[in-house]
Structure 1
Amino acid sequence: MEVFKTNIIPSKPSFIGEKKTLDYKAICVFAATGFFLDEDAYFKEQKVLKPAHEFQIESNSILSSKPYFQWHYSPIERPLSQIVSEFAVLFETIIKEQVGNQKVILPLSGGLDSRTQAAALHYLRNEVQSYSYAFEGGHDETYYSKKIAQACGFSFTAWKVPQGYLWNKIEQLAKTNGCYSEFTHARQMAFVDQYAQMGDVFSLGHWGDVLFDDMGVSDSLSFNEQVEILLKKIVKKGGIELAESLWKSWGIEGDFKTYLKERISQLLLNIGIPESANAQIRAFKSLYWAPRWTSTNLSVFESQRPISLPYYDNRMCEFICSVPEKYLAGRQIQIEYLKMRMPALAKITWQDHRPFNLYHYHWNRRPWNLPYKIFDKMKRVLASKSLIQRNWELQFLGSENEEELQKWLFQNPHFSKFIAPEVVSDFYAKFTDDNQVYYSHSVSTLLTLSLFAKENL
């Protein structure tokens, strides 16, 4: 018998059971949301072990399980300055334990999560190789990342994600993430062969933006309203339509929308934080979204070097439960930490609030941001061609991309036995008929299911 304990936010799924019977209802949820829900897997007999549980396992079966942590809201009132100091000690302790004296590989963006890590790593005097990437033909997303690296004295590499990078790596990606995330999100795959030479361990900033912010709702939001908010957050454009088509083609009884809403309602009810809608929605996302969506493509990094995730640490989750919501709202803790630990980073523009930095971001409203808004719009209007803004544009647009996409959608015999060809043709036609933004998720999901069929059916 083996005793196995899952983290509060697992960085990778732990599967148990055999691959026998396809779970069509679970696959419909994946089609609608982009991730599998709760314990679901592609097969009914195979499950993913729940977060924050201790299991007794024998012969690929669960003998018993019990939770060791329940998300809660137990705010301890103290000044923001004290909370920031507590965060600093905890965050830096976690990072020091995770990376030690190894050379750190640090992906950077113009946001707050990786910037906060940069401040901690600079304070801890770690050797860091940082990098960032931008879309070929898109905005220069490396601009602020480079400034952050320079302020910290880190080595920095700027990459361009090229057109059509997916196709010569797609089968490798399918094996790496198990087809548990649709393929337009893993742009890190474009550089997978270059990571190993950059350092010893990744330090990744995933989930900081969820833990250290509010959910944008009133704490008194009713339970039914919370369910509706969650449905809007997790359902992708065109996702319900694709799920309903698959549901019907597979002859599943009942109604998909009703099924999905009932499942979300029950999972949310089980959390049981009636005193704070923000805390309850954050807990839902941390239990079901983080491990089954955010974590899935961490496997790309881990295929090359060990990964560390300071915001995933159990102690960070416990800390969040003690912080009053009024201090989590608006990213206050990370902002004040950066001001305290490294003001030079706080003075660099916050990408989400261009052109303002962490001292002036509250000016990002009319009339103070109007001159920049006008300038930015004029710059985009005068641009010689449309800028690439989304991952799928690099993978699906253009004749060479279309040829590769059509090959997987229409020339894979394993896939045509799995998904009705008329469903595939219908959604591909909708995608090509000037509805690309709305149906890009549907097409990417069908592409992912095609690779799943080739690997498993």
Structure 2
Amino acid sequence: MKTITTPIIPIVPTYAKVNAPHELHLEAICVFAAIGFFLDTDTYWKDEVVLRPGCQHTISDDGYLLESIPWFEWHYTPDKTRDFDATLQDFTTLFESIIEEQTVGKKVILPLSGGLDSRTQAVALQHLNVPVNSYSYDFQGGYKETQIAKAIAEVCDFDFTAYTIPKGYLWDVLEGLATLNRCESDFTSPRQMAIVDEFETMGEVFSLGHWGDVLFDDMGVRDDLPLKDQVKVLQKKLMKKGGRALANQLWSYWNLAGDFDAYFETRITSLLSAIKIPNNANARIRAFKSMYWAPRWTSVNLAVFASKHPVTLPYYDKRMCEFICTVPEDFLAKRQLQIGYIKQRAPKLAKITWQDQRPFNLYTYPKNKTPYNLPYRTINKLERVFQEVLGKKYIERNWELQFLGDDNQKKLEAYVYNTEFNSWISKSIVDQCYNAFKSGNTVEKSHAMNMFLVFAVHQHLNNRHV
């Protein structure tokens, strides 16, 4: 026997066997179709599980899970002896010590965005005089996110490269990506795969800002929200646009017992009620997301980065998770700690546009409301209309670059219309979803095609290796 201890938020999943038939776990696949990732310990197979985070697991010599005992449980124990300034100082000390430990003596690769998480890292790395090679990307025909990232890099004196995510790159890297993420995510979300070969010579270690936006914000609910309402909120947060309809369609087609909606609600209720945070809904929902969303969605595509260099994630660190459990919700709400840190350490960075609040920055973003934001909104709308008039679609999401257009659609069709795949998910279901997608090209209608492509590639690779 052996013992495996999983981190609070694992970077890499660990798999084990359980005593069950080796057959597809169709209920789990329906949940995947609804939310875009596997829930809890689910995988494609009934006899395979992913080990839960924050637990000590006993594994038999032949790879079977025997026992799992939690060594960490999320809690909400706010330290009321600290005011906001003291909490900010504690965050500053902790965050910078984690960054220093993770990057000491290394040339760091830093993906920069227009948001707060990577900007917060940039502040720490600059303060610590760490050598940094930064980069960013935007979509061909979309918002120039690289402009904000470049401005951040210039203030910090980081090396910087701007990339453009091109149309149709996916088909050349599809099976490689499927091998890396084990088909446990859609293939258009990890746009870093478009430039994966560029990572080879960029540095020695990645510093990634994943999960900062969840840990350092509220969940948008009342602290005293009852459990049943927390379940409703979580279901809404988890469900992809078009996901519920697709899951119900597959549930019915596979003739599974009961109905999908009841099954899904029961599972969410069970998992959420097991989190022992009865006194704060925001803290409990954050814990749920950190236990079940971060490891099974956010971490899945970290494998793309890890295929080239080691990855470090300051917000995944055990000490950061423990710290969050002691911070009053009032201090976490609205990204206050990250904003306060950036303003205090690097005022010049705080004056650069915050993408989510554009054209405002960390000092002016409270004015992102009528009438102050009307000029920007009007100009932005006119620019989009003008681009559409010229016949150029304004690109906001990667699937638009990978699924739209004759060449892309021929390659998509080759995967979702073949005897192998249609023996599992019928051609009539694919037809219905694909025709709806071609007629609308909306986020809701694209979701089914994202899922069908994942399922088709998984089936193809699985059959090839049998």
State the TM-score, normalizing by the size of structure 1. 0.98
Deviation track 1:124-181 (CA, whole Å, cap 9, x = no partner) reads: 1111100000001111110100000000000000000000010011011111100000
| Deviation of the 1:414 alpha carbon | 2.9
**Matched ranges for 1:416-435 at <5 A:** 416-435=422-441
Q: What letter is aligned with 2:393? A: S
Q: Which residue of 2 aligns with 1:396?
A: 403
For 2:393 and 2:250, the matched residues in 1 are separated by 34
Q: Which residue of 2 aligns with 1:205?
A: 209
| Deviation of the 1:435 alpha carbon | 5.0
1:446 aligns with 2:449: no
**Matched ranges for 1:3-152 at <5 A:** 3-17=3-17, 20-58=22-60, 59-77=62-80, 78-152=82-156
Q: Which residue of 2 aligns with 1:255?
A: 259
Q: Which of 152, 158, 173 matches 1:169? A: 173
For 1:64 and 1:236, the matched residues in 2 are separated by 33
Other structure's SS at 1:132 match:
strand
Question: What value does the CA root-mean-square deviation take over the aligned residues?
Answer: 1.2
For 1:248 and 1:387, the matched residues in 2 are separated by 37
Q: What letter is aligned with 1:7? A: P
In structure 1, stretches of 5+ residues that fail to align are: none
Q: Which residue of 2 aligns with 1:360?
A: 364
For 1:148 and 1:296, the matched residues in 2 are separated by 28
For 1:57 and 1:20, the matched residues in 2 are separated by 19
Other structure's SS at 1:236 match:
coil
Is the contact between residue 217 and residue 278 of structure 1 (CA under 8 Å) also seen in structure 2? yes
Q: Which of 234, 238, 252 matches 1:234? A: 238
| Deviation of the 1:81 alpha carbon | 1.0
Q: What letter is aligned with 2:408? A: N
| Deviation of the 1:421 alpha carbon | 2.2
- CA gap of 1:375–1:436, structure 2 versus 1, over 3 A, is closer
Q: Which residue of 1 aligns with 2:247?
A: 243
Other structure's SS at 2:361 match:
coil
Other structure's SS at 2:274 match:
helix
| Deviation of the 1:63 alpha carbon | 2.8
Other structure's SS at 1:332 match:
helix
Deviation track 1:226-275 (CA, whole Å, cap 9, x = no partner) reads: 11111111111111111111111111110001100110011000012121
For 1:192 and 1:271, the matched residues in 2 are separated by 38
**Matched ranges for 1:208-219 at <5 A:** 208-219=212-223
| Deviation of the 1:39 alpha carbon | 0.5
Other structure's SS at 1:54 match:
strand
For 1:328 and 1:80, the matched residues in 2 are separated by 10
For 1:271 and 1:195, the matched residues in 2 are separated by 39
Deviation track 1:28-53 (CA, whole Å, cap 9, x = no partner) reads: 00000000000101000100000000
Bigger mean CA offset, 361-370 vs 225-234: 361-370
Is the contact between residue 418 and residue 453 of structure 1 (CA under 8 Å) also seen in structure 2? no
Bigger mean CA offset, 82-91 vs 420-429: 420-429
Deviation track 1:276-313 (CA, whole Å, cap 9, x = no partner) reads: 11001101111111110111111111111110000001
Moved over 4 A (4+): none
Aligned residues: 456
Other structure's SS at 2:168 match:
coil
Q: What letter is aligned with 2:316? A: Y
Bigger mean CA offset, 184-193 vs 59-68: 59-68
For 1:364 and 1:433, the matched residues in 2 are separated by 35
Is the contact between residue 30 and residue 36 of structure 1 (CA under 8 Å) also seen in structure 2? yes
